[in-house]
């Protein structure tokens, strides 16, 4: 029996634009490994990974949205390749598109409200078909796309049978609340008259606010971020104050099987026998040859969405100042986002060859290589609910340079802090001055204190960011809201196909493998390294994501997670 059902718009590797996918892709895996069968359900987008898998229809139904009936099927991945059941909701006409949120030009789909309201209702309709004793013990909703579920199960008569199931809502990003005007209120399922106020915040329908009001528990992806939401959450501050009793900050973990320097098939040189120095310098050489950088200068990289939230607007001036000062360091950027930022980086790549380069693309494989080959990773974020990049960087021996905010504050103590547990370099103010002085600290340490750099690398690569510790905190929250989640020794149930008598009569038809997923070779070939022109994309490792233009969120293409990485780097592993 599924104990926890994660309901989300993204799940790695099926559909990813950022950290939400990574988290929803790993939580059910770690829960299932701990004996608590968990599953994830997302919409069925027309993405490569999804099309490359075989799906079995387990349910068919329909929902009404504003007098329009949407037929849908719920399908389960037949191979169970993620180690837990992954379900997709196939709603022809709404989600069978090649982007997650945006079309190929980067513009958001105009019917986002209708798409996610339909998806949420379809999930609930499916859950109603479960015998009550087989229903999940917790419905765990992630971000605003699924934020109406806690409200729907409590206040929409159609779904009230599900009301006894505790709902937990996790905020991965409070900047996007999914708000829409009351003129679209007719898209919602019928609800009790008194429930209108629960949807409303400042005169509009705000799904995130509705979830904070109605979910049994609300979590954020770090403790500091919970505190910050109380200070500034685009108008929801008083609501967060009001509901503080049910709020918990739980820092994310990372999937240490996907992100394992000893087995990662996306990097050119893996960590062997704990030779960290060799691992770093060989991978750095690859990047230096691709991007035309000297190897005897520190390489400082940025990976992420090129948007204000990530603080990238600070980088051009900071880098220019640094480069003009003559200090020896090189800078690399990987990301997509706001056009003016992209253009600035493109221009700088031409202005400062050998010192700066940028890849304006979403490229999962290249990101792994950058974590492995960089000396430092910079994250000057304005807002950072948790941030995963700094944890991936540490696992791959890249020292983080971060702004003291949200999850960055919780995971990267400064090396100058008392206690001697530093992991990186932090700066407080969002200013070119503060960012520059953090960079100077990093660069001078690299040039003058190689022993400290080596020591720090070893320390950060040993930090245990795995989910095992984190899931205990989620279990505690589930139990606090009365959900009886506990290790279940019974084997996971077999996939049952939809009975023919279900509302949608179509026979279960596995999706044809239109574009068979590329198998990630156990040992990826080492492509010949060639120097790139400024701004040119690297000869992407064979698993590289297909480039597409996106503004705010970018979807990943096919990447099979590294097959069954057996070895988890132990926090106690000895290093040389």
Indicate the residue among 151 and 396 with the shorter CB distance to ligand ADP. Answer: 396
The tokens for 391 are 């944890």
56 vs 498: CA distance, rounded Å: 8
- What CA–CA distance (Å, rounded) separates 509 from 311? 46
Residue facing ligand ADP at closest CB distance:
19
- Identified binder of ligand ADP from the candidate list 388, 401, 415, 565, rule CB under 6 A: 388
Q: Work out whether strand 68-77 and strand 86-90 pair parallel, antiparallel, or are unpaired.
A: antiparallel
CB of 334 to ligand ADP, least distance (A): 5
Among 11, 300, 303, 314, binds ligand ADP (CB under 6 A): 303
Give long-range contacts, CB 8 A cutoff, 24+ apart: 571-574.
571/462, 571/463, 571/464, 572/462, 573/274, 573/462, 574/274
By C-beta, is 207 or 337 nearer to ligand ADP?
A: 337
Q: Is 412 in the site for ligand ADP (CB under 6 A)?
A: no
Q: d(Cα 282, Cα 289) in Å, to the nearest integer?
A: 11
Stretch that binds ligand ADP, among 3-11, 120-128, 320-328, 360-368 (CB under 6 A): 360-368
Pick 336 or 374: Cβ nearer ligand ADP? 336
Q: Does 363 bind ligand ADP (CB under 6 A)?
A: yes
Question: Is 54 or 536 the residue whose CB approaches ligand ADP more closely?
Answer: 536
Nearer to ligand ADP, 94 or 366 (CB): 366
Is 305 one of the binding residues for ligand ADP (CB under 6 A)? yes
| Minimum separation from the CB atom of position 172 to ligand ADP (A) | 7
Helices (H) then strands (E): counts for the chain: 17, 17
User: And the tokens for 25?
Assistant: 């892709």
Q: Is residue 256 involved in binding ligand ADP (CB under 6 A)? A: no
Which of these, 191, 181, 185, 152, lies nearest to 169 by C-alpha position?
A: 152
Stretch that binds ligand ADP, among 36-44, 130-138, 382-390, 465-473 (CB under 6 A): 382-390
Contact with ligand ADP (CB under 6 A) among 5, 6, 7, 18: 18
CA pair distance 40, 76, nearest whole angstrom: 10
On whether the CB atoms of residues 123 and 189 are closer than 8 A, the answer is no
DSSP code for 306: B
Helix (H) or strand (E) holding 126: helix 112-128
- Options 149-157, 187-195, 303-311, 483-491: segment touching ligand ADP (CB under 6 A): 303-311
Joined together, the tokens standing for residue 249 give 């900050």
Contact between residue 94 and residue 73 where contact means Cβ atoms under 8 Å apart: no
Q: Which is nearer to ligand ADP, 206 or 555 (CB)?
A: 555
Report the residue number, 321 or 537, with the smaller CB distance to ligand ADP: 537
Which letter, b or e, does each residue of 218-256 get, where b requires 16 or more Cβ atoms within 10 Å of its Cβ? bbbbbbbbbebbbeebeebeebbeebeebbbbbbbbbbb
Q: Nearer to ligand ADP by C-beta: 303 or 520?
A: 303
Q: Rounded CA gap, 427 and 404, in Å?
A: 6
Question: Residue from 19, 60, 61, 538 that binds ligand ADP (CB under 6 A)?
Answer: 19
- Which residue, 12 or 87, has its beta carbon nearer to ligand ADP? 12
| Residue 509, burial from CB neighbour count under 10 angstroms (0-12, 13-18, 19+) | exposed
Segment near ligand ADP (CB under 6 A); pick from 118-126, 330-338, 349-357, 475-483: 330-338
Q: Which is nearer to ligand ADP, 37 or 147 (CB)?
A: 147
The answer to whether residues 502 and 60 touch, using CB atoms and an 8 Å cutoff, is yes
Query: Per CB under 6 A, does 124 bind ligand ADP?
Result: no
Q: Which residues, listed in sequence order, are joined to residue 64 by a DSSP beta bridge?
A: 69
Asked if 304 is part of the footprint of ligand ADP (rule: CB under 6 A), the reply reads yes
- Is the CB of residue 398 less than 8 Å from the CB of residue 267? no
561 binds ligand ADP (CB under 6 A): no
Residue 498 binds ligand ADP, judged by CB under 6 A: no
Give least dist CB 19 to ligand ADP, A: 2
Question: Phi and psi dihedrals of 357, rounded to 5?
Answer: -150, 155
Q: How far is the CB of 104 from ligand ADP (least distance, A)?
A: 17
- Residue with smaller CB distance to ligand ADP, 357 or 363: 363
Structure tokens at 59: 């349910």
CB of 556 to ligand ADP, least distance (A): 7
Q: What distance in Å separates the CA atoms of residue 229 and residue 227, rounded to the nearest whole number? A: 5
Q: Which of 167, 224, 336, 557 binds ligand ADP (CB under 6 A)?
A: 336
> Between residues 118 and 389, which has the closer beta carbon with respect to ligand ADP?
389
Q: Which two tokens stand for residue 219?
A: 């979590």
What are the angstrom distances between the C-alpha of 333 and each of 126, 303, 412, 517?
A: 43, 6, 21, 28
Rounded Cα gap, residues 333 and 342, in angstroms: 10
Q: How far apart are CA 182 and CA 9, in angstroms?
A: 23
Among 6, 10, 22, 395, binds ligand ADP (CB under 6 A): 22
Burial class (CB in 10 A: 0-12, 13-18, 19+), 110: exposed
Among 28, 43, 335, 538, binds ligand ADP (CB under 6 A): 335
Using DSSP, state whether 95 is helix, strand or coil.
coil
Q: Using the rule CB under 6 A, is 381 a contact of ligand ADP?
A: no
Q: Is there binding between residue 250 and ligand ADP (CB under 6 A)?
A: no
Q: Is 378 in the site for ligand ADP (CB under 6 A)?
A: no
Judged by CB under 6 A, which of 362, 376, 427, 446 binds ligand ADP? Answer: 362
Which residues from 164-193 bind ligand ADP, rule CB under 6 A? 173
Applying CB under 6 A, does 311 fall inside the site for ligand ADP?
no
Least distance from ligand ADP to the Cβ atom of residue 72, Å: 27
Whole-angstrom distance, CA of residue 567 vs CA of residue 106: 39
- Cβ nearer to ligand ADP, comparing 288 with 370: 370
Among 138, 141, 288, 334, binds ligand ADP (CB under 6 A): 334
Q: How many residues bind ligand ADP (CB under 6 A)?
A: 19
For the chain, state the CA radius of gyration. 24
Binding site for ligand ADP (CB under 6 A): 18-20, 22, 173, 303-305, 334-336, 362-364, 367, 386-389
């Amino acid at each position: 029996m599924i104990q926890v059902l994660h309901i989300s718009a993204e799940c790695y590797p099926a559909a990813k634009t950022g950290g939400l996918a990574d988290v929803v892709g790993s939580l059910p895996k770690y829960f299932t490994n701990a004996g608590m069968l968990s599953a994830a359900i997302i919409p069925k987008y027309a993405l490569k990974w999804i099309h490359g898998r075989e799906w079995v229809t387990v349910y068919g139904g329909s929902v009404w949205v504003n007098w329009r009936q949407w037929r849908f099927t719920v399908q389960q991945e037949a191979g169970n390749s993620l180690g837990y059941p992954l379900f997709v909701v196939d709603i022809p006409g709404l989600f069978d598109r090649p982007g997650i949120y945006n079309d190929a030009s980067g513009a958001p789909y105009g019917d986002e409200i209708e798409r996610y309201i339909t998806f949420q209702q379809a999930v609930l309709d499916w859950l109603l078909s479960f015998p009550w004793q087989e229903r999940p013990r917790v419905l765990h909703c992630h971000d605003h796309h699924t934020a109406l579920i806690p409200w729907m199960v409590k206040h929409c008569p159609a779904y009230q049978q599900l009301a006894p199931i505790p709902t937990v809502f996790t905020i991965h990003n409070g900047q996007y609340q999914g708000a829409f005007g009351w003129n679209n209120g007719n898209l919602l399922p019928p609800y009790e008259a008194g429930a209108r106020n629960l949807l409303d915040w400042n005169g509009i329908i705000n799904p995130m606010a509705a979830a904070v009001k109605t979910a049994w528990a609300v979590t954020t992806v770090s403790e500091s971020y919970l505190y910050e939401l109380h200070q500034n959450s685009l108008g929801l501050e008083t609501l967060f104050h009001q509901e503080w009793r049910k709020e918990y900050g739980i820092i994310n973990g990372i999937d240490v099987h996907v992100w394992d320097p000893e087995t990662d098939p996306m990097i050119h040189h893996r960590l062997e026998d704990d030779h960290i120095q060799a691992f770093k310098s060989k991978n750095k050489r690859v990047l230096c040859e691709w991007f035309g950088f000297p190897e005897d200068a520190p390489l400082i990289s940025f990976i992420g969405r090129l948007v204000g939230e990530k603080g990238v607007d600070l980088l051009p001036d900071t880098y220019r100042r640094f480069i003009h000062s003559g200090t020896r360091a090189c800078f690399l950027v990987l990301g997509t986002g706001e056009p003016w930022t992209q253009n600035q980086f493109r221009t700088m790549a031409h202005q400062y060859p050998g010192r700066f380069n940028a890849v304006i693309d979403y490229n999962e494989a290249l990101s792994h290589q950058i974590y492995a080959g960089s000396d430092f990773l910079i994250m000057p974020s304005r807002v950072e609910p948790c941030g995963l990049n700094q944890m991936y960087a540490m696992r791959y021996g890249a020292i983080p340079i971060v702004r003291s905010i949200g999850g960055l504050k919780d995971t990267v103590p400064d090396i100058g802090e008392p206690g001697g547990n530093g992991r990186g370099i932090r700066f407080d103010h969002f200013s070119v001055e503060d960012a520059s002085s953090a960079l100077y600290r990093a660069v001078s340490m690299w040039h003058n204190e190689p022993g400290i750099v080596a020591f720090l690398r070893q320390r950060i690569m040993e930090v245990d960011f795995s989910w095992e510790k984190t899931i205990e905190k989620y279990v505690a929250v589930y139990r606090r809201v009365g959900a009886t989640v506990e290790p279940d020794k019974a084997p996971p149930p077999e996939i049952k196909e939809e009975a023919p008598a279900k509302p949608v009569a179509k026979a279960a038809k596995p999706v044809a493998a239109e574009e068979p997923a590329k198998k990630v070779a156990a040992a990826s070939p080492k492509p010949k390294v060639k120097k790139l022109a400024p701004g040119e994309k690297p000869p992407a490792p064979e698993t590289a994501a297909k480039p597409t233009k996106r503004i705010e969120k970018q979807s990943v293409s096919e990447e099979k997670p590294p097959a069954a990485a057996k070895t988890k780097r132990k926090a106690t592993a000895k290093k040389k």
